[in-house]
Structure 1
């Protein structure tokens, strides 16, 4: 059997591999409007407070404006507004925990109450991103309120934080009126650029796998945007229907691009794609190259028609039909969503335990800075943010540098115009840093929090005060690492196995749809199956990347599974090529063999025995059979090898 080509997926492992993953920086782009809004939202209330001697109050408004700036991502304005309106009241309600002390409850009772609240909020966080953000803000504000009883009027602080969130929304509304961004247009442009990147890599014989992965990610984002828009729409919506047609056209062009190798036609396709992308980006009609005689003419004409001829949009597409679920289906999905799974409950138990330990620090440390420990626990323990271990390490690194910056500000820069400008400069970089890494986010947020939250603390004396915060952060991270990570069994093998199983099922379903619709490659069911298969590959690769960032043995285990991702990706590409080039009248015997392949890919049956000459035939069906035999055989060999490796005895291959 041929040795699998895993050059692109090999991972060089050493004891420091996970450190490199911790230090990995994600790609990011500057959004000047977003950065400017964040700086203005935080600094303007501070300036007003400074010149009116109300800084003790306006700092809470700045804090309320800071939270939306940290979590803002590319999304429609309406979705961002709803997220803020949902998260801000939940977060501001955390101040009400301060009244637990005024009620005369013993500290043991407060610890138990906050632990139970942490458990419930962790469960609620699984319901939606907005609730998750609000729950995190609740835990932070509750720690601030319980750690600073001198606030006294907790309801006032709560209202001021909500006012800050509303101020951030007001600035966002001004942007929408005067300098709007276009998430739909931008999502379409990113998919077109990803297609162009695939074309370039094919011409240069480069890394098609990486380019295709980026396409899958961008296409999934556009598809999700379409479904969200359809869900929000009331009745027939022409823009949503047009988006659905564009999604289908882009998918057909992707399948054709993956299937065809002619250099001449690829060279002709490249400038056409660039012209279409420029036309969409600058909101003008396409007037570039003609598509006559191009091998991709049909797919390009369909895409151009979908982009610029709204009247040609079909009455309904498979995507549109799916995007309008019936009320009974919505109710069943809601009930399923409200029932937490095992992993969700386990994460909630971990948070409850670590929250109890974080608040128990107050038994030994009764000065005001102790509350940074439970606050750190809440931030690091958010399960949907990624690896707990990586987040703890990154927060320690980011905070270590951030406290120096914050300490220098508090020690040597008096509150005034220069101080506010420096805070504004840090806040301006925050949206960009939040995309790069969690460590850089912690670095930027730490000095801001030192100023905004801890202004009431009696120990705020420069570097010494900042060092207390560093010690508290280290203590919180230590609690999380020991009681939220190390003491719990970690089943990386089972997680990766489940990810591979899901991918195999999706690929098998994709092949089934390709075989059932070989004479109708444009049907929505085939497009849906293709999107689902590639989406599962993205999920599997993301799971492996998260495991690689963990310390041994998880990193070694992830490396052993990487070749399986490459095999699955090549198998998906082979099916995509076949879906665009299948014979209308295939050889009956070859067709019969292919009908057995979905179950073989899923693992329900063994590969059928074939005559030796089948793999040498030059038909679309025979080429697909050869690819399935090669990739599935490699997969089973590697799968058996990985499955026999004890989880705690994994070593570099």
Structure 2
């Protein structure tokens, strides 16, 4: 092929190191037209309403209230979608009210921004919704403290929430047309393939199931890499795929014993498919009778799949003596915010960088210095992302976007016509987010410039100011938030995973002995290890594709380990509420199994086959440990 016609990516690959190419290379993706149209409507309709009322700037806050929550609409169940958008909107409204309150109060802005930064970092550890809400809290606090938008703190927050409500309306408008997202569809296909495997247990059906399972994991992994924090809907899908794999293994064991799958098992899988397809809880057919080890494993795996398809909480076992309500969920979220060395360290890093940026802003060295502070908040995003990759992509994307903005501002005069490029670039943001964070920044930079131009009439000079402030913000992040912290340069998922398994094993050994002096310490260390593992994993999945594609293969094992930890906590809670504790021999056997799994991960080998379960071992805990071993042994965790 002549050199003239070679792609820009090929030319870049010749001139730049491979790691740099991987950092900035957009991933292939087809445009998803409805989210693009939805974002354009979300951002421009409030501005059109303001223009119709005679003052287009009245639509700025509702437009901003639509942009951030609009990016939070990434599919999934509609109840989950509305909760995510609403929580992000509330975070943004609170942030704007705080920022607008301290605007114009000089150096008081610096400690307030630092406190909001710590709160944002802690909130982001709760999960995907918390990550997005924490980011929006910080972003809108910066905007509120730096831009004199119309209205006071509380009226402005109300206008912001009005934009969020508009996004929710658009988010549910497609419900009759989009019953499920691609990862949900792939999960349903896995269980359909499982039903065919039960009916026809030849090599072709087995290969078809394995291919469907591979596609299912790939679909959820792809969605997982684009989200911040833990997403309960995606976690449930991974758990369903894990259960399908366990059912498949139990079917093979059943065949090795010379037994056929019972009709009740086939009926249960068909019911799971129908329930997932129709969005309703499944009805569990009667369990088949029998004392075969393979049949017991099959019944246990099917029961787990039915529970998950019913909407069972995969993050916490429902205790029969104490139902999990809103108060319990709040306490668990609060605990997640404070457990983990990485959580506290990250909060310090974010507060330091934001404080320095806000202080520099106070000296008036930059014309619109709030853009510099905003860049720090976005690059050092509170979800343990790849700081270096985000800084590089943000700088390159903003540079390209500002060049485009200059051309547009030179061609289109101030007035209603600017709403046309606003709609175009708003529509391109979801597509850019699909492909690369830097490409999203390329489309976002002109959009923000156009919105600011509506308020200030700054013209093309805004592009130059934006570029300088963005580069200064990226430099602050790299010099203060990245280079001085060696732990941010890598994401040792394997080591952190093994440490979390070992910490869980040590906690399990003392968990049923109320008189043990080590029990509280080991419990806390187990929770700390799990929190650090979540932090390391979350940072790793946002690295460039060469790293993140390899790291996401740990997600099934992550889900299985979460199940072990939660089942351990639930079993301990039952014992504290009067249930008989498991025999010491059974506890030792299960703890030894966990230690064997941890050691096999460190030595990069398949865990040894477990011996027979000790008499009196809690069935659900033993099943969870067995599922973890099977998942770690599988190709998706190695």
- Name the TM tier (shorter chain): 0.5 to 0.7
**CA 1:597–1:179: 2 relative to 1, 3 Å:** closer
Structure 1 residue 93, shift from structure 2 partner: 2.6
Tell me the equivalent position of 1:304. 270
SS at 1:490 equivalent: helix
Distance 1:52 1:90 in 2: 28
Give me the whole-angstrom Cα distance separating, in 1, the residues matched to 2:119 and 2:375: 18
Deviations 1:613-645 (A, max 9, x none): xxxxxxxxxxxxxxx9xx99xxxxx9xxxxxxx
Is the 1:72–1:431 contact (alpha carbons within 8 Å) kept by the matching residues of 2? no
> Higher mean Cα deviation, 183-192 or 31-40?
183-192
* Aligned counterparts of 1:182 and 1:451: Cα–Cα separation in 2: 35
Contact 1:410–1:461, Cα closer than 8 Å, also in 2: yes
C-alpha distance in 2, partners of 1:469/1:223? 33
Q: CA 1:209–1:37 in 2, change beyond 3 Å: closer, same or farther? A: closer
Match of 2:423 in 1: 424
The answer as to whether partners of 1:148 and 1:457 remain within 8 angstroms in 2 is no
Aligned equivalents of 1:180, 1:212: Cα separation in 2: 19
- State how far apart, in whole Å, the 1-side matches of 2:151 and 2:366 are: 17
1:75 and 2:72 aligned: no
The alignment status of 1:225 with 2:233, answered yes or no, reads yes
Residue equivalent to 1:577: none
| C-alpha RMSD of matched pairs (Å) | 5.4
Structure 2 stretches lacking a partner, 5+ long: 1-12, 198-202, 276-281, 288-301, 507-531, 562-590, 604-628
Partner secondary structure for residue 378 of structure 2: helix
Corresponding residue of 2:521 = none
In 2: Cα distance, 1:218 partner to 1:152 partner: 41
CA contact (8 A) 1:216 1:538 kept: no
Question: 1:46-92: CA deviations, max 9, x gaps?
Answer: 22333442201112222211112222212211112122222213212
Provide the C-alpha distance between the structure 2 equivalents of 1:158 and 1:308, rounded to a whole number of angstroms: 43
Partner of 2:144: 145
Q: Give the conservation status (yes or no) of the 8 Å contact 2:271–2:283.
A: no
Quick check: 2:129–2:231 contact (8 Å CA) kept in 1? no
Distance 1:190 1:479, change over 3 A: farther
Q: Which aligned pairs between 1:602-621 and structure 2 lie closer than 5 A?
A: 602-603=598-599
Higher Cα radius of gyration: 1
Partner Cα distance (2:145, 2:592) in 1 = 64
Conservation of the 8 A alpha-carbon contact between 1:65 and 1:165: yes
Unaligned runs of 5+ in 1: 1-11, 230-242, 262-292, 510-535, 573-594, 608-627, 633-637, 639-653
CA distance in 2, matches of 1:323, 1:597: 21
Counterpart of 2:101?
A: 99
Aligned partner of 1:517 in structure 2 is none
Residue 372 (structure 1) aligns with: 371
1:426 deviates by 2.1
Aligned match of 1:285: none
Aligned to 1:382: 381
| Higher deviation after alignment, 313-322 or 131-140 | 313-322
> What is the deviation of 1:504?
7.1
Equivalent in 245, 250, 263 of residue 244 of structure 2: 250
Describe the superposition over 1:166-211 as per-residue Cα deviations: whole angstroms up to 9, x where unpaired: 11112223333x4343259535346469989x9999979x999976
Q: Secondary structure in 2 aligned to 1:384? A: coil
Q: Supply the distance in 2 between the matched residues of 1:405 and 1:467 (Cα, whole angstroms).
A: 12
Alignment of 1:465 with 2:468, yes or no, is no
TM-score of the pair, normalised by structure 1: 0.61
Indicate conservation of the 8 Å contact 1:45/1:61, yes or no: yes
Contact 2:213–2:241 (Cα < 8 Å) also in 1: no
Contact conserved, 2:379 with 2:387, CA < 8 A, in 1? yes
Are 1:348 and 2:347 counterparts?
yes
The 2-side partners of 1:256 and 1:457 are apart by 67
Structure 1 residues 325-340: aligned runs within 5 Å: 325=319, 326-327=322-323, 333-334=332-333, 336-340=335-339
Match of 2:485 among 480, 488, 508: 488
Return closer, same or farther for 1:46/1:208 CA change in 2, 3 Å cut-off.
Answer: closer
Kindly provide the CA deviation profile for residues 505-557 of structure 1, in whole angstroms up to 9, marking residues without a partner as x. Answer: 69999xxxxxxxxxxxxxxxxxxxxxxxxxx999999876767789xxxx9xx
Equivalent in the alignment of 1:85:
86
Matches within 5 A, 1:37-436: 37-96=38-97, 97-102=99-104, 105=105, 107-149=106-148, 151=150, 153-176=152-175, 178-183=176-181, 186=185, 188-189=187-188, 191=190, 214=218, 217=221, 224-225=232-233, 250-252=244-246, 254-255=248-249, 303-308=269-274, 311-313=283-285, 317-318=303-304, 319=307, 320=312, 324-325=318-319, 326-327=322-323, 333-334=332-333, 336-365=335-364, 368-384=367-383, 386-415=385-414, 418-436=417-435
TM-score (norm 2): 0.62
Does the Cα contact within 8 Å between 1:148 and 1:368 map onto a contact in 2? no
Distance in 1 of aligned mates of 2:436 and 2:500: 28
Provide the C-alpha distance between the structure 2 equivalents of 1:601 and 1:311, rounded to a whole number of angstroms.
Answer: 35
Aligned partners of 1:436 and 1:259: how far apart in 2?
42
1:330 shift after superposition: 5.4
Distance 1:396 1:606 in 2: 38
CA displacement, residues 425-471 of structure 1 (integer Å, 9 cap, x when unaligned): 2222322221221111111111111122453235x221x32021011
* Number of residue pairs matched by the alignment: 492
- Match of 2:402, SS state, is helix
Structure 1 residues 224 and 194: alpha-carbon distance in aligned structure 2, compared to 1, 3 A threshold: farther
Which has the bigger relative contact order, CA under 8 A and spacing at least 6?
A: 1
SS in 2 for 1:374: helix
Give CA-to-partner distance per residue, 1:462-504, whole Å, 9 cap, x none.
Answer: 1x32021011000000000000111223276783453351587
CA displacement, residues 215-235 of structure 1 (integer Å, 9 cap, x when unaligned):
784999999539879xxxxxx
Indicate if the aligned counterparts of 1:496 and 1:543 stay in contact, CA closer than 8 A.
no
Displacement after TM superposition at 1:358 (Å): 0.9
Q: Does 1:475 align with 2:479?
A: no
CA 1:494/1:185 → structure 2, altered by over 3 Å: closer, same or farther? closer
Q: Relative to structure 2, which stretch is displaced further, 77-86 or 309-318?
A: 309-318
